[in-house]
Structure 1
Amino acid sequence: MKIILFLFSSSLLSQVAPRDTILELKEAVVKGYLSTQPLLHTPTSVGIINVNRLRSEADETLLPALNSLPGVRMEERSPGSYRLSLRGSLLRSPWGVRNVKIYMDEFPLTDAGGNTYLNLVDTRSINRIEVLKGPDGSLFGANSGGVVLIDPVGSQQDHSGLELGLSGGSYGMLHQNASLQFQGEESQFNLDQAYLRSDGYRENSAMRRHYIQAAEQWNYSPGNELELFAFYADLQYETPGGLNEQQYAEDPRQARQAAGPNPGAVEQQAGIFNKTLFGGISHEAHFGSNLRHVASVFGSLTDFENPFITNYEVRDERNFGGRTYLELTWEDTGVEATNWKWNLGLEWQQSHHEIVNYDNEGNAIRGALQAADEFKTNSHFYFTSFTANFYDRFTAEAAVSLNFYKYNFEALSAGTAPSGENGFSPQWMPRLSLSYLLNSNLAWRASVSRGYSPPTTAEIRPSNQIVNTDLQAETGWNYETGFRYMSRNNRLQMDASIYFYKMEEAIVRRLDQDGEEFFTNAGGTDQLGFESLISYWFLEPGGDGIIQGLRVTNSYTHNQFEFRNYIQEQDDYSGNRLTGVPRNVLVTGIELRLPHSLTFTAQHNFTDEIPLNNANSVYADSYHLVQAKLMWRAVVNNEHRLEIYAGVDNLLNEKYSLGNDINAFGNRFFNAAPDKNYFAGITFGL
């Protein structure tokens, strides 16, 4: 590989890619709280993944980058089948994203029913990710896990250009992407297209995704900006299903086998087919230097099909809504300056779901009708926050939202549940946060906030097709304190926090005698956690010699999560560890800058054993996962950017299960992850 790179270097290049130390070590900022503020002054726990971090990993998945943040766990049962948790368990998530609110720019990707199709978005269309950890409903509505804010590509560039990329790897992986940007005097247009496919490591685990994303920003007059954003995704992936311990030991690549009256995953051609159109329009207006107004409308259409072992589900989903807020600021100067910001706003969403289940006659052929229901979900909240900074040292933030949630359902077929309506009482979600700079580099912070997370549509009407109107919302209080340190020029960054989240009415997944899922409230949980993150440039980038830059990062997560009072019929799980949560996760990364514009990155992830059922009688083994990537960047003819890279995943060839089916029917807990596999790619920018 190095010989090839040097040949390219000598024959095509007039200069290598310039190193920008300032770019690498500039001050970190947080954008999530409606306006930009320095990370050191931010009084809450925040994780940031920039575009350089995303590009240092395999570019077809977000897993390595997100899992490098403490308190964040992303899993993959098979290519395309993801789930995500922030500071919490996966009790509610057999797949997908629940209990976390996700935004794409100004627009909620999470629908009114609480579900998020994060797997639709292509990684190359993302420029930056912010993770706000812990309950944060004061500005973003109902959640108890946290908020993820995704910044699409485009805003980081100030010129027109075209970028083309192609990568491939083991198990038939192919990822093609193209990005086009037009930069005008008053507008900017971005068009991003991508195609991703994989044959998968296991039987019945192939996937493919077509993705296109467009964004237009138009400053039509001083202080006024209009933004249009849209994407369309066509995603298909097969679901191999879980294996029991014996099957996992004998052949981890096999799909779920037939058992009793139920056929296997291959015979039923189990999988997901998701076609979604998502879009929104946002307007930002500045009235002088102190007052700003933002308003947006958005919506999505989803055509969803899921041939499964026991049925064939078809869903027609429509979601639309709006969000608006005012921001009033006061900025002072001087040694005794006092600056403050006040926000007031609301967000409203409504979802419409038609859910129809048929028999799966085999080979993904629809049979007789089993059940059909219509759901309409209405979610809205009002929010306000006030932030003040005194003497550029002490920051205080007080915020609160008032949340409303209700749903209507109607039976569309005979023999199913009758029509009805269920409304939840309005819920206040306050948050108080403080930050104090002990010196110019070290800040202490503390916060208290309330979490509130109503059940999602998929939990109210799960695969057993019974509408559960008794399911209650999760609630709880989170108490947190921590320290954040940033040296001059940000060469050394450290962050540590400890929190305690006391949850009530935890929602858990259970299975009936036929293996169909349903959800119930399981009493309370005690979730005590510790998180730390360290990043240090031993050698700042831009130096001379063999090693021209060296950075080491380390994140550590400790989860002391337990059921406080959970009794299920004759079984008492009180005091047991929370299902699906590893006790310890340690992630260490290295970035090595070498001559001739070579960069080597590697990451080691240690994940502790994981309890797979509420009784804590079965555990997934701990594992060590090592990934590495070698990348070469340069400039062709003084203007064209060229990037060539190659890497390896699971370098130690560990046998591990990623995306375990917790409390699985027939003890089918395990979803084997790929063994050692490779990837390589090239990107060219005009």
Structure 2
Amino acid sequence: MDEAEQLLQRIPGGVELVPDTAFKNGPANTIRDVLGAVPGVITQPKSNVDNRVSIRGSGLTRNYGNRGVNLYMDGIPINTSDGLFDVFEIDPGAYRYVEIYKGANTLGGAVNFVTPTGRNAARFDSRVDGGSFGFLKGQTSSGGASGTFDYFASLSAQREDGYRDHSDGHMARGNANIGYRIAPEAETRFYVNANTWRQRLPGELTKSAALNAPRSADPDFVSQDQQRNIDSLRIANKMRLRFETTEVEFGVFSHRRHVDHPIYRYLDYTVNDYGGFVRATDERTLAGFRNRLVVGTTIINGALDYKEFENVGNAEKGALVFSTRDKAENYASHIENAVYVLPEVAVVAGVQHLHARRGAVNRRSPRRLRPPDRAERGGKGPPAASPFPHPPRHAPGRPGARRMAGRWAPDRTPPGRPTGPLRLPTRLAERPVRCPAVHRRRAPPAFRFPAPWFRAQQPRACRLPCRRTGFPRRRRSSPPRTTGPW
């Protein structure tokens, strides 16, 4: 721990090291017990063990989950691929010390929770905590070493009835690591972190109800039996190599989290994340000056299988109303160099590059956007009109036509326009599209399209009238379009 504190002092900016003696002598139940006394860090309780965590104001507006702060366990990222993290996975009784990086003068930061190893942990340790409103927690841990192997394991479980009605919950958390020294300068370590949480939600109260009956629960939350149930499993491996003046760390990790969350709807989703990282630190003397170079890169990718059902009451699933599959990719690289112009004074420069990609597929609605037909409306109402303002240029079977995602489109594409399935935009234009020359007898379209997208769909006959609505002229460099019967 002394070595870690010396390394923190080399970092320009706000840093803090919290030893386990600062929080294990107290309740050691939530992340607030660890970070609550650190200047610049806000931990606001929300429900039982759940807390809102903010460093210098980051993520204060988040009502669900936490963002804006990077969390690590032994230097391995624990945020999901979309940046979310759940603090219920943080078990204060399982850590040796905690490192807080508050940055220079920016929002956000990072927190690294460091677990013991078999070479610095007690052979056996146990504790029991109890409190008001049915709170009871027990924890036990063990560690040891034998030759080139060492291990550490911690297991805790707790329950509580809660201060308010319909706020009872229980959880169990486990942390373990096994290390093996391949050589005096090479070591590998495997990490396992497993958690389960079952929590009922009491909901919000009006001001009068909070003053007169503060222990009551929202009747809607009770009738729907709203809950938040999470199971998570994280597996990781980290390799450390030491050379003469260079130390290299690299590893891989995976994280699976299942959330069963009946609220006003029944949310059921699974997160599968994976990634890797590599970091290298080189210390040597260059041109008579001590120099320290740090380079690294981290990759976190994942997918979210998300579904929403109707909550018919008593936390029972009804009909499926929403289903998506979201993907996230994150790539981060950094480099930092420190030149010591004096034994205790260094000039530090660094740069970081971030790249993120997000994608989503709506599996509930078809790829082709269309209004529900009469059969889907239960046989009521007029027949549904097509969302397209005009028929396609090429009917099925005509020369020069090809099928794309269930629609017929010409096989000639102007330069600069993407090929493949045509997707309707999510942003709608400010004005409806009307062409008096071609669509005089048609009802106005039920959807509003952006001008560039609509212009790409227009036949040649619509070009002149549509200019009157403010559409720019077509580029002359575009290849001629095949004119259909419309």
Partner of 1:525: none
- The one-character-per-residue Cα deviations of 1:174-206 (angstroms, maximum 9, x if unpaired) are 111111112123232011111111111111211
Q: Displacement, 1:285?
A: 0.7
Asked if the contact 2:167/2:200 (under 8 Å) is kept, the reply is yes
Q: Displacement, 1:239?
A: 1.7
| Residue 313 (structure 1) aligned with residue 267 (structure 2) | yes
Q: Displacement, 1:48?
A: 2.0
- The one-character-per-residue Cα deviations of 1:15-38 (angstroms, maximum 9, x if unpaired) are xxxxxxxxxxxx96656xxxx526
Partner of 2:259: 304
Q: Displacement, 1:207?
A: 1.6
Whole-Å Cα distance in 2 between the matches of residues 377 and 313 of structure 1?
Answer: 20
In structure 2, what residue type is equivalent to 1:273?
A: N
Tell me which of 236, 252, 261 is aligned to 2:214.
Answer: 252
- The one-character-per-residue Cα deviations of 1:241-281 (angstroms, maximum 9, x if unpaired) are 22232222112222224xxxxxx111111111111110100
Q: Displacement, 1:331?
A: 5.9
| Residue 325 (structure 1) aligned with residue 279 (structure 2) | yes
For residues 234 and 187 of structure 1, do their structure 2 counterparts lie closer, same or farther at Cα, with a shift above 3 Å needed?
same
Partner of 1:274: 230
Whole-Å Cα distance in 2 between the matches of residues 44 and 376 of structure 1?
Answer: 34
In structure 1, what residue type is equivalent to 2:266?
A: Y
From the CA coordinates, give the structure whose radius of gyration is larger: 2
For residues 178 and 339 of structure 1, do their structure 2 counterparts lie closer, same or farther at Cα, with a shift above 3 Å needed?
same
In structure 2, what residue type is equivalent to 1:255?
A: A
Asked if the contact 1:80/1:237 (under 8 Å) is kept, the reply is no
Asked if the contact 2:102/2:109 (under 8 Å) is kept, the reply is yes
Partner of 2:116: 153
Partner of 1:164: 126
Q: Displacement, 1:80?
A: 2.8
For residues 345 and 412 of structure 1, do their structure 2 counterparts lie closer, same or farther at Cα, with a shift above 3 Å needed?
same
Asked if the contact 1:57/1:65 (under 8 Å) is kept, the reply is no
Q: Displacement, 1:77?
A: 1.7
What percentage of residue pairs aligned between the two structures are identical? 19
| Residue 287 (structure 1) aligned with residue 243 (structure 2) | yes
Whole-Å Cα distance in 1 between the matches of residues 153 and 179 of structure 2?
Answer: 12
What is the 5 A alignment of 1:163-562?
A: 163-257=125-219, 264-288=220-244, 290-308=245-263, 310-330=264-284, 338-414=289-365
- The one-character-per-residue Cα deviations of 1:389-448 (angstroms, maximum 9, x if unpaired) are 232221222111111101111011127997xxxxxxxxxxxxxxxxxxxxxxxxxxxxxx
SS at match of 1:172: coil
Partner of 1:128: 97
Whole-Å Cα distance in 1 between the matches of residues 39 and 301 of structure 2?
Answer: 33
For residues 95 and 105 of structure 1, do their structure 2 counterparts lie closer, same or farther at Cα, with a shift above 3 Å needed?
same
Partner of 1:605: none
Q: Displacement, 1:368?
A: 1.2
Asked if the contact 1:106/1:282 (under 8 Å) is kept, the reply is no
SS at match of 2:29: coil
Q: Displacement, 1:135?
A: 6.9
Q: Displacement, 1:65?
A: 3.4
SS at match of 1:52: helix
Partner of 1:95: 64
In structure 2, what residue type is equivalent to 1:83?
A: R
In structure 2, what residue type is equivalent to 1:116?
A: F
SS at match of 1:55: coil
Q: Displacement, 1:47?
A: 2.2
- For normalisation by structure 2, the TM-score amounts to 0.72
SS at match of 2:303: strand
Whole-Å Cα distance in 1 between the matches of residues 281 and 367 of structure 2?
Answer: 48
In structure 2, what residue type is equivalent to 1:113?
A: D
Whole-Å Cα distance in 2 between the matches of residues 127 and 406 of structure 1?
Answer: 35
Whole-Å Cα distance in 2 between the matches of residues 128 and 286 of structure 1?
Answer: 23
Asked if the contact 1:337/1:390 (under 8 Å) is kept, the reply is no
Q: Displacement, 1:300?
A: 0.6
In structure 1, what residue type is equivalent to 2:240?
A: E
Whole-Å Cα distance in 2 between the matches of residues 38 and 103 of structure 1?
Answer: 16
Q: Displacement, 1:74?
A: 0.9
Partner of 2:380: none
Q: Displacement, 1:160?
A: 6.0
Q: Displacement, 1:363?
A: 0.8
In structure 2, what residue type is equivalent to 1:361?
A: V
Partner of 1:81: 50
Q: Displacement, 1:121?
A: 2.5
Asked if the contact 1:158/1:183 (under 8 Å) is kept, the reply is no
In structure 1, what residue type is equivalent to 2:93?
A: R
Whole-Å Cα distance in 1 between the matches of residues 59 and 328 of structure 2?
Answer: 23
Q: Displacement, 1:165?
A: 1.7
Runs of 4+ aligned structure 1 residues displaced above 3 Å come to 27-31, 89-92, 157-160, 415-418
Aligned residues between the structures: 372
Whole-Å Cα distance in 1 between the matches of residues 233 and 85 of structure 2?
Answer: 13
Partner of 1:105: 74
Partner of 2:31: 62
Q: Displacement, 1:162?
A: 1.3
- The one-character-per-residue Cα deviations of 1:324-349 (angstroms, maximum 9, x if unpaired) are 022211169xxx98422112221111
SS at match of 2:96: strand
In structure 2, what residue type is equivalent to 1:37?
A: L
Partner of 2:7: 37
Whole-Å Cα distance in 2 between the matches of residues 293 and 90 of structure 1?
Answer: 33
Structure with greater strand percent: 1
Whole-Å Cα distance in 2 between the matches of residues 174 and 149 of structure 1?
Answer: 27
For residues 165 and 42 of structure 1, do their structure 2 counterparts lie closer, same or farther at Cα, with a shift above 3 Å needed?
same
SS at match of 1:153: coil
Whole-Å Cα distance in 2 between the matches of residues 266 and 361 of structure 1?
Answer: 13
- The one-character-per-residue Cα deviations of 1:265-310 (angstroms, maximum 9, x if unpaired) are 111111111111101001011122x0121111001111111110x2
Q: Displacement, 1:125?
A: 0.9
In structure 1, what residue type is equivalent to 2:38?
A: L
- For normalisation by structure 1, the TM-score amounts to 0.52
In structure 1, what residue type is equivalent to 2:259?
A: F
Q: Which runs of 5+ in 1 are unaligned?
A: 1-26, 137-142, 258-263, 419-467, 471-686
